[in-house]
Amino acid sequence: SYIQIIVLLLTILLTEIELHKHFDKNGNLRTGKKIVEGKMMADKIMVNQDGRKAIQKLADLRQSLKTAKMMVWQGRFMQFSEEGMEFTNCVSNVASTCPELDLVHYQEILKENGIEWTPISLHEADISQLDLQCVMALILGAVRIERFCEGVLQDFWEEGDIDLWLGRLQDLLSR
């Protein structure tokens, strides 16, 4: 009957969707390890020289952001301060300069590390064991969530989250 065929097709489709979650865009099984030029890298992701410079520039903002505001009031609305614009531009630059980090899929990266793409989950994330890719996904997620929750980036800054995340970036870069 038609109902049985529809049920069968839906079952196949749902199975395909579930299987897709376990494979990356190249068809490789996701194991929590990154594949770099055919080599498995468990805790380090190799980035190109331009990417490393972009990440270092972002991490170096940590000191200047300690005494600055991320957002300022412009009439009745908040907008990025000069330092806030520099921060968001650096984050975007890292995302575009480091294709090996696959930050286009930042929400999936966060999910694979047990972090939801919500302000509360980003704030509560234990970053002490996160790798470079996930820390960058977390920072990018925070910048992107600002589009939907105005002022949340300022909250992350005031709560010390951005300083913590940039500190983790500095730690990872110093290894």
Tens of pLDDT, residues 19-68: 444 445 555 444 444 433 333 333 455 677 888 888 888 888 888 777 77
Distance (Å, whole) CA 170 – CA 128: 12
Q: Do residues 145 and 117 make contact, with C-beta atoms less than 8 angstroms apart?
A: yes
Distances (CA, A) of 33 to 42, 49, 76, 121: 5, 21, 46, 23
Q: pLDDT-derived band of residue 175, with 50, 70 and 90 as boundaries? A: confident
For tokens 């991490």, the residue is: 59
In the prediction, which pLDDT does 165 show?
A: 94
Q: pLDDT-derived band of residue 104, with 50, 70 and 90 as boundaries? A: very high
Structure tokens at 93: 């630059």
Q: Which helix (H) or strand (E) holds 135?
A: helix 132-145
For tokens 């800054």, the residue is: 157
Q: Do residues 140 and 97 make contact, with C-beta atoms less than 8 angstroms apart?
A: no
In the prediction, which pLDDT does 107 show?
A: 94
- Helices 82-97 and 49-66 pack at an angle, to 10 degrees, of 160
Q: Do residues 173 and 56 make contact, with C-beta atoms less than 8 angstroms apart?
A: yes
Task: Output the pTM of the full model.
Answer: 0.71
Distance (Å, whole) CA 46 – CA 17: 30
In 3D space, the residue among 100, 104, 108 whose CA is nearest the CA of residue 22 turns out to be 108
DSSP label at residue 41? E
In the prediction, which pLDDT does 8 show?
A: 67
Distance (Å, whole) CA 130 – CA 168: 9
The residue-averaged pLDDT of 102-131 equals 93
